[in-house]
Amino acid sequence: MSVYDIKEEKMVLSHFKRKVPQPKSAADFVRTRVEVMAKDINPMDQIELHKQIGEMVYDTVVDKATMAHELKESLKNTNLQLDFERMSSTAKDNRIKSLEDIIIGLGHDPKDPKGVRALMKKKEDDLNALKTRLKLLPTEHPQTVELQREKKLDEQLDLIMQLHQKVLDLEKELEGALKDKQGESTSQALPTV
């Protein structure tokens, strides 16, 4: 660190070196202090020195802030994962109890369609309960967006084809109307004998 003492017109440089690998207080550092008279240092060097020290301090602060933010996000993700695990564990316990009740109630025949349907319904109920408790969005297959886009393009193509067909039908009607009008005008122009 450096400080410019205006009263005495000198530059005070302090260098801190760690005594221990993980310092926790100021006593864990050794400070070396160097004083240089300002008249002995070129002003551009003074500016550059302050700039470099400021960048080093700022870089250290940014590193610590980034690390703190990453740790906070990691802790948040860990807590979220822990909540998911708790809910999953609770759901599994509830499911095991309900499956035991179903198996005891229906007997031990795995080929029983009623038992299979009851187990399937219970599984769906468990999944729906988990989704509502976690308020998860419904999952989408990765190709869903592509399929929706293709469907939209197909619908647009169908609409264009329908419109094209209507235009062709209108053209035929107009041609027929023009022929009828031309036929009427030629029949009126011919004298009757």
**Tokens 């802790």 found at:** 75
Q: What average pLDDT does the chain have?
A: 77
Structurally, the chain folds into a number of domains equal to 2
* Shared-domain flag, residues 50 and 130: yes
Q: Per the domain annotation, does 148 fall within a domain?
A: no
Range of the domain at 4: 1-40
* Shared-domain flag, residues 130 and 95: yes
* Shared-domain flag, residues 51 and 122: yes
Q: Per the domain annotation, does 152 fall within a domain?
A: no
Is the model's pTM score more than 0.75? no
pLDDT in tens, 64-122: 888 888 888 888 888 888 888 888 788 778 777 777 776 666 665 556 667 667 777 77
pLDDT in tens, 111-133: 666 766 777 777 788 778 777 77
Higher pLDDT, 167 or 118: 167
Q: Per the domain annotation, does 20 fall within a domain?
A: yes
Residue 102: left (phi > 0), alpha (psi -120 to 50), or beta? alpha
SS3 105: helix
